[in-house]
Amino acid sequence: MTALTIQNLWKEYGPQVVLESVSLTIAPRAFVALVGPSGCGKTTFLRMLLGQEQPTRGTIVMDGAPLPREPGPDRGVVYQRYSVFPHLTALQNVMIGPEMRAARLAGRLWGKARKGLADDAATLLHEVGLAGAEDKFPAQLSGGMQQRLALAQTLMMRPKLLLLDEPFGALDPGIRAEIHALMRRLWHEHPMTVVMVTHDMREAFALATRVIAFDRPRQRPEERERYGATITNDIALWPPRVAGRQTIYDADIPAGDEDLSRFAIQPGPPRPDQGALR
Amino acid sequence: MRLINLTPGKGGRLLLGALPFVVLALAYLVGSALRLADNPGDKLLPSLGAMGRMIEVMAFTPDKRTGAYLLWTDTAASLFRLWSGLAIATVIALVIGLLNGVLPVMRALLAPFVAFLSMVPPLALLPVLFIVLGLGEVSKIALIVIGVAPILTRDLALTAAALPREQIVKAETLSASSWLIAWRVVLPQVMPRLIDSLRLQLGPAFLFLIAAEAISAEGGLGYRIFLVRRYLSMDIIFPYVVWITVLAVAMDLALRLLRRRLYPWAEPEGRA
Ligand SMILES: Nc1ncnc2c1ncn2[C@@H]1O[C@H](COP(=O)(O)OP(=O)(O)O)[C@@H](O)[C@H]1O
Ligand SMILES: [Mg+2]
């Protein structure tokens, strides 16, 4: 169960301040959607969580320990592009992580170990809807299938934290709805915390337990370089979405039936303007 | 219809492709016939029959002095030098190019030096090679290596460095070490490009080979051409030139097939 504590994070590239005083605590098993205008530093923030970039100031603590200074198998990532290896088939793409973890010199497994891993990989491919595509190269898969493959590849490592950078941004609306359903299911079934960058508000609210907006509070041209973006909105979904549990988001509510306890939701305090919902 | 939208069919492509060859052959035949009609002893453009007789002598008649079939011993000697040179250059390119392309520290150490070396004109070094390494096989192979390796190396390093950064980070999140990133992510992806740049270097490799053989050798395709040049034996030189070209074309084709067989994912779209 992975919790993240980010304290007073700054990121500067030379004179340009990209992010300033970002403080944030992310609960275990949360699904955080990060939204904000283009160029406000969302990818930069994700890179710092990944360990690919170091904060200029501030700290990131994961499960009580400072974040390692380079990427590792405890944090998975899926990008909009370049997430899978073009020279490996779908099955090989899913197997490569565990293979490299097990065989530090050859980077490959043979015999029984390989067979067992191939079975696991095929099962996961099936789970993400890629049964039958095992021997195809990524170039032979559609965009949606490539992203499913990227998710499967990452999940093989059982990451504690999954980072997504506009993973479904390039997909058609129909395909996107399908992959959203898959993403929700994977989040429910795999014990991981998710941080997803998106520019699509609907996507953010369709998937996340919490939506965080980055923006620059100072927009005048002469201020743009010296002031960075920070958290301007932090919205927890209500009624909450809970990992591994059914909530109203997963079921049609019969008309007139507003008893949420069936969905195992801890009802929150009634809001003044929404008091009817309880 | 615009010219740009006019695509020849299969037969048309074959016909068009053959046309320049036919034109060249005809031009030669006409030129040769005209000159020979003028002067039957002309050596510059020998007739096909004369060339055929010399091919017979070079390829299928044992040499009076040594008993060897000269065309084949020349070919064997030249290919040994060429392939040794290319093999060594490829290994150097793989090791240095990968180190250079994958590890920033190695890039800082090696890239300027390799860039400098690749600008040394190899033929200018030939006398030095003959003096230092002697007149035997080593100096000829060394010339090919010196001529080809720096370019292969730089090309490989550039290709490796041009891989999206995302892939490297991705591999790290899949628990890869630096070694495993080079071995399982970068190497397979630069191999198709290495084969292509090897194909492009076949021409220069032959150039260096023939230059070295022309100056000093006991045998070899380039040696033979420069030997019979003294007697103005165009009837031997022309078949040798054609033969060298055929060898180069065959190697180019073989490399292309090898690439397609080993790396089907890297084929240009529509051909995979
Ligand atoms: N490596 C870098 N060097 C310099 N500036 C960078 C670098 N990476 C990102 N930036 C700058 O940081 C800002 C935020 O970029 P990014 O995080 O990619 O934005 P977003 O993902 O929100 O669109 C941009 O203005 C970009 O120019
Ligand atoms: Mg971005």
Distance (Å, whole) CA A152 – CA B123: 54
Tell me the nearest-neighbour CA distance from A6 into chain B, angstroms. 21
Query: From the CA of A34, how far away is ligand 1's center (Å)?
Result: 15
B167 CB neighbours in chain A (<8 A) are 82, 85
pLDDT (tens digit per residue) in B37-50: 999 888 889 999 99
The whole-angstrom distance between residue B64's C-alpha and the CA centroid of its chain comes to 32
Judged by CB atoms closer than 8 Å, whether chains meet at B166 and A81 is answered as yes
Residue A90 token pair: 């779908």
pLDDT digits (tens, 9 = 90+) for A91-118: 999 999 999 999 999 999 999 999 999 9
- Residue A276 is predicted with a pLDDT of 41
Helix, coil or strand: residue A19: strand
Query: Ligand 1 centroid to B181 CA: how many Å?
Result: 26
C-beta separation of A18 from A228 below 8 A = yes
Closest ligand 1 atom to residue A197 Cα is: 21
CB contact under 8 A, A153 and B176: no
Domain A1-74+163-278 sits in CATH 3.90.1150.10? no
In this prediction the ipTM stands at 0.87
- For β-strands A57-62 and A210-215, DSSP reports them as unpaired
Residues of chain B with C-beta less than 8 angstroms from the C-beta of A91? none
The answer to whether the Cβ–Cβ distance between B173 and A154 falls below 8 Å is yes
**Ligand closest to CA A166:** 2
Please say whether the beta carbons of A194 and A217 come within 8 A. Answer: no
Looking at residue A243, its pLDDT comes to 84
- Which residue out of A22, A43, A198, A230 has the highest number of ligand 1 atoms within 8 Å of its CB and is therefore the one to mutate? A43
Whether A157 and B265 lie within 8 Å, measured CB to CB = no
- Identify the pLDDT of residue A26: 95
Q: Are A195 and A6 in contact (CB under 8 A)?
A: no
**Pocket residues for ligand 1 (CB within 6 Å)?**
A 13, 18, 36, 38-44
Which residues 163-192 in chain B show a CB within 8 A of chain A? 164, 166-167, 169-177, 179-180, 183-185, 188-189
Instruction: Please list the alpha-helical segments (H only) found in A136-276.
Output: 143-155, 173-189, 201-207, 221-224
Q: From CA B15, how far away is CA B12, in angstroms rounded?
A: 5
Chain A residues 151-170 within an 8 A CB cutoff of chain B = 153-154, 157, 159
* Amino acid A269: pLDDT: 56
Question: Nearest by CB to A50, which of B167, B169, B189?
Answer: B169
Q: Does B270 touch chain A (CB under 8 A)?
A: no
Atom 2 of ligand 1, residue of closest alpha carbon = A13
Tallying the residues shown for chain B, one arrives at 272
* pLDDT value, residue A217: 86
Q: Give A76's contacts in chain B (Cβ within 8 Å).
A: 173
pLDDT at B1 > cutoff 90: no
What residue ranges do the domains of chain A occupy?
1-74+163-278, 80-158
Chain CA centroid to CA B160, Å: 23
Distance CA B43, CA B50 (A): 10
Give B199-246 pLDDT, tens digit per residue.
Answer: 999 999 999 999 999 988 889 999 999 999 998 899 999 999 999 999
Answer yes or no: do A77 and B265 touch at CB < 8 A. Answer: no
* Least confident span in A95-109, B123-137, B248-262: B123-137
Could you report the average pLDDT of every consecutive run of 10 residues in chain A (278 residues)? 89 92 94 94 96 95 93 96 94 97 95 96 95 95 95 96 95 90 91 94 92 90 83 88 78 55 56 42
Torsion of CA A119, A125, A128, A129, to 10 degrees: -110
Whose CA is closest to A94, among A163, A148, A166, A159?
A148
Q: Does A268 touch chain B (CB under 8 A)?
A: no
| pLDDT tens, position by position, B5-60 | 999 999 999 999 999 999 999 999 999 999 999 998 888 899 999 999 999 999 99
Is B188 close to A87, i.e. CB distance below 8 A?
yes
With an 8 Å Cβ cutoff, are B175 and A107 in contact? no
Query: Considering every ligand atom, which ligand is closest to the CA of A40?
Result: 1
**pLDDT reading at B270 higher than 60:** no
Contacts within 8 Å (CB) and 24+ apart, A262-266: A265/A239, A265/A240, A266/A240
